[in-house]
């Protein structure tokens, strides 16, 4: 049967089976080969092979680059990570592609060290690379405990450490998987948990095996797969047909916490992009520790501060109380509640009776926060790639 072009009957039966069984993940894994656009995959592999044959020097350079990247990552033994210094942490993280948008990498990573502490970073890197539990558990623990290093960082570290086992997951990988019609993929990194990352890595390994069976030895591992996806699968085909409808997944409590932390970190990052001094989980007044703040000194006006509280779950009353307390700091000139559109409407209703903040409170949909971050990071990454701006300026 043609991969993504299912008949109406096929779609009906599969959707009914999908909805009537509680183990949707197992079902989608079982039907993965049926749903994938294998025709597009074979065509893209063929194009990549032609490119490699016609550009042997460049293909060899990329091959050597991949192996050098893995050799460097694999040089971080358990003992080396256990004794990692701040400078060594910088040397480990600064070269990552996930750091591409940051001109002043030292400033950003100094913030990561300040927010987490080297003891925690050492312990979590050791566990991520060498822990004995499943990748699902190690991934979730890293996301729960480490601030400022999200899925793009974690997956790149894992991919270069064990390229035969773990996928590098970012926007380009998402576009490639969507082009291939891979089912059950996350549309946003924010809620990406260990279970879903393990699934994506499994699908990636299947793609590598499929490429090798078709005679494309260039796709030797999941890092090579990443290079291939970047080059050949960044334009979604117009002839993919209508994708199979998937039931939207309800976020777990853990995923909501991941979203909260990711949005919090992105607000901080947007502030840094805009030239503010930006921090997370900062005490701003008695009894008020806010998720994020932007701060700037303006001549004779002194310090101006904008504070942000993010909510993906929990009490609206506690969010509003925290913002009310933050207003006790005279430098605070703006207070912002960040949530999804439905929660924002509830927050507005609750805030309407609070005379102290109702006229000053601003609202920001966290989906817009993530879009703004993506746009700014793309712009800064492009500017940094030109080499026009001195390193470390922003």
Cβ neighbors of 40 (< 8 A, separation 6 or more) are 4, 179, 180, 181, 237, 240
pLDDT confidence of residue 35 = 54
pLDDT, one tens digit for every residue, the chain (394 residues)? 333 334 333 443 444 444 344 444 544 444 444 457 889 999 999 999 999 999 999 999 999 999 999 999 999 999 999 999 999 999 999 999 999 889 889 999 999 999 999 999 999 999 999 999 999 999 999 999 999 999 999 999 999 999 999 999 998 999 999 999 999 888 778 889 999 999 999 999 999 999 999 999 999 999 999 999 999 999 754 543 334 334 456 778 888 899 999 999 999 999 999 999 999 999 998 888 999 999 998 877 788 999 999 999 888 999 999 999 999 899 999 999 999 999 999 999 999 999 889 899 999 999 999 999 999 998 988 888 887 766 555 4
Taking only the tens place, the pLDDT of each residue in 209-219 is: 999 999 999 99
Q: Hey, which residues does 296 pair with through a beta bridge?
A: 304
- 194 φ/ψ angles, rounded to the nearest 5 degrees: -65, -35
Largest CA distance in the chain: 72
pTM: 0.82
Q: Are 384 and 100 in contact (CB under 8 A)?
A: yes
* d(C-alpha 357, C-alpha 351), whole Å: 7
| C-alpha–C-alpha distance, residues 286 and 328, integer Å | 8
Q: What is the pLDDT of residue 342?
A: 93
């Amino acid at each position: 049967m043609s991969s993504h072009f299912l008949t109406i009957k096929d779609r009906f039966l599969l959707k009914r089976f999908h909805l009537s069984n509680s183990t949707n993940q197992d079902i989608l894994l079982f039907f993965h080969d049926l749903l994938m656009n294998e025709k597009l995959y074979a065509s893209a592999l063929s194009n990549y092979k032609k490119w490699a044959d016609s550009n042997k020097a460049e293909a060899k350079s990329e091959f050597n680059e991949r192996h050098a990247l893995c050799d460097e990552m694999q040089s971080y033994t358990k003992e080396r990570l256990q004794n990692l210094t701040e400078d060594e942490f910088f040397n480990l993280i600064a070269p990552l592609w996930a750091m591409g948008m940051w001109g002043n990498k030292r400033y950003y990573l100094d913030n990561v060290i300040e927010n987490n502490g080297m003891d925690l970073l050492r312990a979590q890197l050791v566990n991520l690379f060498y822990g004995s539990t499943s990748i699902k558990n190690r991934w979730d623990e890293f996301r729960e405990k480490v601030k400022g290093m999200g899925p793009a960082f974690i997956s790149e570290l894992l991919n270069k450490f064990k390229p035969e086992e773990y996928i590098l997951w970012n926007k380009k990988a998402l576009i490639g998987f969507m082009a291939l019609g891979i089912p059950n993929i996350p549309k946003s990194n924010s809620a990406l948990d260990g279970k879903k990352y393990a699934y994506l890595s499994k699908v990636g390994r299947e793609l590598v095996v499929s490429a090798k069976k078709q005679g494309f030895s260039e796709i030797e591992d999941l890092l090579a797969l990443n290079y291939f996806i970047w080059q050949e699968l960044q334009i979604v085909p117009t002839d993919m047909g209508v994708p199979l409808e998937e039931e939207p997944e309800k976020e777990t409590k853990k995923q909501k916490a991941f979203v909260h932390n990711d949005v919090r970190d992105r607000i901080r990052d947007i502030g840094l992009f805009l030239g503010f001094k930006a921090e997370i989980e900062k005490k701003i007044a008695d009894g008020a520790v806010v998720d994020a703040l932007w701060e700037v000194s303006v001549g004779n006006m002194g310090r101006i501060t904008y504070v942000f509280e993010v909510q993906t779950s929990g009490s609206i009353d506690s969010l509003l109380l925290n913002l009310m307390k933050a207003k006790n700091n005279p430098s605070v000139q703006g207070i912002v509640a960040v949530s999804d559109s439905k929660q924002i409407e509830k927050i507005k209703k609750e805030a309407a009776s609070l005379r102290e903040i109702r006229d000053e409170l601003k609202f920001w949909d966290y989906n817009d926060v993530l879009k703004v971050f993506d746009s700014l990071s793309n712009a800064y990454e492009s500017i940094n790639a030109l080499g026009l701006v001195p390193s470390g300026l922003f």
